[in-house]
């Protein structure tokens, strides 16, 4: 690119060789509507299909494309971190390569940030999709636990570069970027984004992620609730320990007193022996 990118679209890609040419074609059509120089940073996350070869060809065709390669699969959170390190832009857009979200919706995602009205914009999924029930439960729990008043937290999103510095480097914690950023005072808004069926490649979602996701959710809640106020957490631990010790002390001396007067626990319970 001849000028520095202001918007960087970060794209984790694992075995997406079939989707990448069409994805980049649609990006090329959408970027003039962004209103700022825009690039795409695709992270090949340990692909085993023809993704590396396809990306090499696409880099020749599209000057706005950067490629980062992971030798093994490291997951979306690490891929976003690697893409962010390689990106030029001040505004990041998390977008999958599977074409379930169309690049034509990128301009409306970044518009509130470029206008100075928001720090994070989440896309609210529109239409029917496979994991609707799981997504609804997740979003409901997040709104209840964290008080974040956006409809869909687990979707495409645009955000300022500095938001990444506030997200812990842990697997799958990119899902909680919005709630962590909200706790740090970043401004949130949302916009409707259509979701389309996948036409090529295979979904990386497995149902084994659900219990792990619940544990991650509780971990984030615990960190935001107590991690930044360790004195509160220490006080709770000490209080619980004090109550536990107190109960045991009362039980011990009660037992000693019963023994001193020849009063057994069986007598106290009304049991004849």
Residue-by-residue DSSP string for 63-121: TTEEEEEESS---HHHHHHHHHHH---SEEEE--SSSSS-GGGHHHHHHHHHTTS-SEE
Looking at residue 199, what is its pLDDT? 77
pLDDT at 265: 47
Residue 135 CB: number of other CB atoms within 10 A? 17
> Which residue from 39, 37, 35 is spatially nearest to 27, judged by alpha carbons?
39
pLDDT digits (tens, 9 = 90+) for 182-202: 888 899 999 999 999 877 756
Under the banding of pLDDT at 50, 70 and 90, the label for residue 25 is very high
Given this model, what pLDDT does residue 256 score? 55
pTM of the predicted model as reported, rounded to 2 decimal places: 0.73
- Helices 106-114 & 20-30, crossing angle to 10 degrees? 50
pLDDT at 182: 82
Q: What is the pLDDT of residues 46-87, one digit of tens each?
A: 999 999 999 999 999 999 999 999 999 998 989 999 999 999
The pLDDT of residue 203: 57
For residue 273, the model assigns a pLDDT of 45
Instruction: Say if residue 269's pLDDT is above 60.
Output: no
Per-residue pLDDT, averaged over 103-112, amounts to 97
Residue 144 predicted with pLDDT over 90: no
d(CA 126, CA 20): 23
Checking if the pLDDT of 234 tops 90, the result is no
Helix/strand/coil for 133: helix
Give the count of beta carbons closer than 10 Å to the beta carbon of residue 140: 10
**42 has a pLDDT exceeding 80:** yes
Question: What are the Cα distances from residue 22, in Å, to 15, 55, 58, 226?
Answer: 15, 12, 10, 46
Give the number of other Cβ atoms within 10 Å of residue 38's Cβ: 25
Over range 125-142, report the average pLDDT: 70
- State the average pLDDT over residues 30-34: 97
Going 251 to 252 to 256 to 257, the CA torsion angle's sign is negative
CA atoms of 164 and 160, how far apart (whole Å): 8
6 to 24, 89, 160: CA distances (angstroms): 18, 4, 10
């Amino acid at each position: 690119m001849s000028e520095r990118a202001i918007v960087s679209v970060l794209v984790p890609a694992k075995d997406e060789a079939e989707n990448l040419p069409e994805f980049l074609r649609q990006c090329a059509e959408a970027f003039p509507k962004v209103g700022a120089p825009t690039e795409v940073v695709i992270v090949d996350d340990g692909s085993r299909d023809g993704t590396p070869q396809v990306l090499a060809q696409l880099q020749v065709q599209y000057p706005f494309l950067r490629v980062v390669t992971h030798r093994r699969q490291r997951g979306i959170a690490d891929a976003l971190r690697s893409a962010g390190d390689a990106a030029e832009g001040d505004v990041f857009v998390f977008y999958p390569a599977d074409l379930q979200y169309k690049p034509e919706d990128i301009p409306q995602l970044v518009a509130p940030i470029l206008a100075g009205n928001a720090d994070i914009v989440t896309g609210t999924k529109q239409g029917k999709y496979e994991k609707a029930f799981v997504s609804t439960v997740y979003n409901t729990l997040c709104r209840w636990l964290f008080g974040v008043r956006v409809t869909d937290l687990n979707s495409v999103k645009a955000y300022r570069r500095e938001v990444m510095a506030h997200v812990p480097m842990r697997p799958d914690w990119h899902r909680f970027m919005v709630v962590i950023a909200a706790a740090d005072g970043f401004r949130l808004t949302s916009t409707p984004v259509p979701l389309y069926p996948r036409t090529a490649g295979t979904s990386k979602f497995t149902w084994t992620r659900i219990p792990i996701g619940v544990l991650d959710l509780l971990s984030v809640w615990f960190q935001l609730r107590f991690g930044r106020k360790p004195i509160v957490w220490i006080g709770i631990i000490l209080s619980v320990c004090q109550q536990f010790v107190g109960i045991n002390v009362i039980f011990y001396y009660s037992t000693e007193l019963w023994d001193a007067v020849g009063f057994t626990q069986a007598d106290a319970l009304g049991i004849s022996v």
